[in-house]
Amino acid sequence: MKLATIQNQTRDGQLVVVNRALTHAIAVPHIAPTMQAAIDNWATTAGLLAAVYQDLNKGALADAFDFTTAAVMAPIPRAYHWADGSAYVTHVELVRKARNAELPESFWTDPLMYMGASDAFIGAHDDIQIADEAWGIDFESEVAVITDDVPAGVTAEEALSHIKLITIINDVSLRNLIPNELSKQFGFYQSKPWTSFAPVVVTPDELDGLWLAGKLHLPLHSTLNDQLIGSPNAGVDMTFNFGQLIAHAAKTRSLMAGTVIGSGTVANQGSVDGSSCLAEVRCLEIIKDGKPSTPFMSFGDKIEIEMKDPSGVSIFGKISQVVTKYER
């Protein structure tokens, strides 16, 4: 099934069930008013929501409304836990190569993961508000999953069963703030201001034959100002699957329902199908030409991120955002 959250003048928005074609939706306050409420009680709510989804796909629900013009929020507008991996190690290797740094051998076996700000996820069509272009504005196209309650010490194999919802995200990064933060060793903070979500999240069964062993085997398309930047396949060169990322996150503590785990920038070896962020494009230019020629994003730039099924139909809806100057 497919779920979304739409604006209703509250911080958490209104949970809605969306049909497979992403054309119609229906509110389900009798099942769960919000996405967090749904995932808090997933054992109960999942079946009830799935029944609504079936009826909605049949066109059998009189209260359904047009989803194409709905004011979507992030599917989970504020979450309690957001951990972003860097599972495509080939991307990390490339970034290191561009600055003549060795990739530690352990990076192939021990996932990189940082804790991100989950209190204000932004919607698929929200502006990316940044105060200063000089901070080096970049997008990062990723796959993300939402879990139910995960016990500490879960194995990677067990963790797969805790993945309840899947979507794509844009992990906005401020590249020129990263070197200072990395040097302080306390992780990203100011350099990771916003994370945007596709309009809908879907259950794994919706991705039959495409969601395999904790990886989503489809190209992820990133388009900047109507120019394709890349379509790497998210199922290829993902060194750590989502089960491994969750097990890493849950090594010393449990994860509460509604935890969001990200894949990191999707990338394929050799970047044969392009990139999922400008930083990677610039690294390729540095390796080839000695210096980067592609600038980071400017105010007014439009970034679109989408994933389509093999028949060309959008699965999660499109992330389509414009970078604007933040003014207090």
Name residues contacting a second copy, limited to 71-100 (CB under 8 A).
78-81, 83, 86
Name residues contacting a second copy, limited to 261-290 (CB under 8 A).
none
| Smallest separation, CB 38 to a second copy (Å) | 13
Binding map of a second copy across residues 297-326, x = CB under 8 A, - = no contact: -----------------------------x
When the beta carbons of 86 and 141 are compared against a second copy, the nearer one is 86
When the beta carbons of 54 and 254 are compared against a second copy, the nearer one is 254
> In the chain, count of helices (H) and strands (E)?
7, 20
135 part of the interface to a second copy, by CB under 8 A = yes
When the beta carbons of 186 and 312 are compared against a second copy, the nearer one is 186
| Smallest separation, CB 40 to a second copy (Å) | 6
Determine which residue in the list 44, 68, 190, 225 makes contact with a second copy, applying CB under 8 A.
190
The length of the chain in residues reads 328
**C-alpha 276: how far from its chain's center?**
12
When the beta carbons of 187 and 295 are compared against a second copy, the nearer one is 187
| Smallest separation, CB 252 to a second copy (Å) | 4
Binding map of a second copy across residues 14-33, x = CB under 8 A, - = no contact: --------------------
Determine which residue in the list 75, 123, 136, 193 makes contact with a second copy, applying CB under 8 A.
193
Q: What share of the chain is helix, strand, coil (3-state, %, to 5)?
A: 25, 25, 50
Tokens linked to 180: 């200072």
| CB under 8 A, 24+ apart: contacts of 129-134 | 129/194, 129/324, 129/325, 129/326, 130/172, 130/174, 130/193, 130/299, 130/323, 130/324, 130/325, 130/326, 131/325, 131/326, 131/327, 133/296, 133/297, 133/298, 133/299, 133/325, 134/176
Strand order in the sheet with 128-130: 128-130, 319-325, 302-306, 221-224, 227-230
Q: Where are the alpha helices (DSSP H) in 30-177?
A: 35-40, 42-57, 89-98, 156-159
* Contact positions vs a second copy (CB under 8 A): 11, 40, 78-81, 83, 86, 104, 107, 110, 112-120, 129-131, 135, 151-153, 174, 177, 180, 182-191, 193-194, 248-249, 251-256, 258-259, 326, 328
